[in-house]
Structure 1
Amino acid sequence: MVLKLYVPGTFVSGGATITMVLAEKGIPYEPIIVNLEKKETKTPEFLAMHPFGEVPVIDDDGFILYESRAICRYLAEKYADRGPTLLPNGLKAKAIFEQAASVESSNFAPAVWKVMNEGLVKPRRGLTVDQALLDEALAGLAEKLDVYEIILGKQRFIAGDEFSVVDIFHLSYAPKFAKRGGIDIMTRPERPNVTRWWNELITRPTWVKLEAEGYKATES
């Protein structure tokens, strides 16, 4: 049975990062588009899979799992023998990986969401952007990226010198506000290490192809 991936129609957020892991690993899957406007995530059938009524969700031959970071970890571990490793081996390497994962979820993601909400979501909804709030959000993200600059000055990627699931987590929202919102904070000249790392992520062939094609069923 081909893995089923329940996602919204827009290629963004957790669905995008999961698809990136699937692509890197060459894992066949079937995307199932869930209509959020029609509240298809709130039906009894869907709530049986995800009690909070959200996407993404995977059905791996009857094994149901939600939360994108958990799904990415699961896929990377289950298919460890395919494609790039994406998860480290060894006690200390795993500890550094989890440290980096916590940094992404506790520092980067909340800061990015504030920028995303004010600089991209509001305009798409026809709402007026509060420039003061956007400037504050950008300043907050800049503070996080200043620390990233130090980290990336010592290693190639966020969790070490190997590309990992943690790097993929960062592709959830930031590329969208960089492209659609015209916000170039990820590639500022004062942070050359962040710029180098970020450009390597967004030009990775699997990511470039996914951004062009979106969700696309694949076969084994």
Structure 2
Amino acid sequence: MTLKLYGYSVATGTRRVAVVLHEMNVPFKLIPVDLRKGEQKSPEFMRYQPFGLTPYIDDDGFILYESRAICYYIASKYSNQRISLIPSELKANALFHQAASTELTSFDEYAAEIAKEKITVPLLGGTTDEVAYERLLSTLSAKLDVYDVILSKQKYLAGDEVTLADLYHLPCGDLLYRAGTDVLETRPNVKRWWDDISSRPSWAAVKDGVKGTTN
């Protein structure tokens, strides 16, 4: 049975999952959920995602939500199919989890809010809080200074092989560009890393919106 991905085609979580599906060469069907119409808050949707957020997957009756958990599941289930995105050796695996935690607490938290201020708020007819924006950008910039040091010593965040931790950055990193900041371009090692991961065919396939690979 083809895996079903329930999500909004341009949402960060949906694109995060779809990148990994493409990396692992897993066929999937996108079941569109229109956030603009509030479909994620419908009783039917919330039977499977009780927080009313996208995405979730149905893998032959196995329901799973939270984009990073889904990515981990997919990469684990299909680890022998195409590419390994989760190191199996004990210490390498610990470094992967360290990098994954770094993405969540030192990147996504700030990049998502920057995108909210510069993209979502104006889209909904509001006005960007420039003070909040500058504070968020300053904090993210300090975090990326640390990224640059880490990436001066290794190719990717968890070592010299790409992992889920790197790919997790792609949707919100893309939003930073759309928000009008070049924060990923101003540090040489961060730029080299970003150019690398953002040029992967898997990202090209979902960057502008997710489409399933099966009907």
The reply on whether 1:187 has 2:185 as its aligned counterpart is: yes
Q: CA deviation at 1:41?
A: 1.9
Give the aligned length.
215
Task: List alignment gaps of at least 5 residues for structure 1.
Answer: none
Which residue among 190, 203, 217 is the counterpart of 2:212?
217
Partner-residue secondary structure (3-state), 1:37: helix
1:12/1:173 contact within 8 Å kept = no
- TM-score under structure 1 normalisation? 0.93
The reply on whether 1:208 has 2:207 as its aligned counterpart is: no
Deviates more, 1:66-75 or 1:106-115: 106-115
Q: Distance in 2 between matches of 1:210 and 1:53?
A: 23
Partner-residue secondary structure (3-state), 1:107: helix
1:100/1:159 contact within 8 Å kept = yes
Q: Which amino acid aligns with 1:35?
A: D
**Superposed CA RMSD:** 1.5
Q: Distance in 2 between matches of 1:140 and 1:86?
A: 29
> What pairs with 1:9-48 in structure 2 (closer than 5 Å)?
9=9, 11-48=10-47
The reply on whether 1:7 has 2:7 as its aligned counterpart is: yes
1:119/1:177 contact within 8 Å kept = no
Partner-residue secondary structure (3-state), 1:89: coil
Q: Deviations over 1:112-142 (max 9, x none)?
A: 1221122222222222222222111110100
Deviates more, 1:128-137 or 1:166-175: 128-137
Moved over 6 A (4+): none
Task: List alignment gaps of at least 5 residues for structure 2.
Answer: none
Q: Which amino acid aligns with 2:201?
A: P
Q: Distance in 2 between matches of 1:40 and 1:80?
A: 33
Partner-residue secondary structure (3-state), 1:31: strand
Q: Deviations over 1:140-181 (max 9, x none)?
A: 100110110111011101111111111111012220230x22
Partner-residue secondary structure (3-state), 1:83: coil
What residue number does 1:143 align with?
142
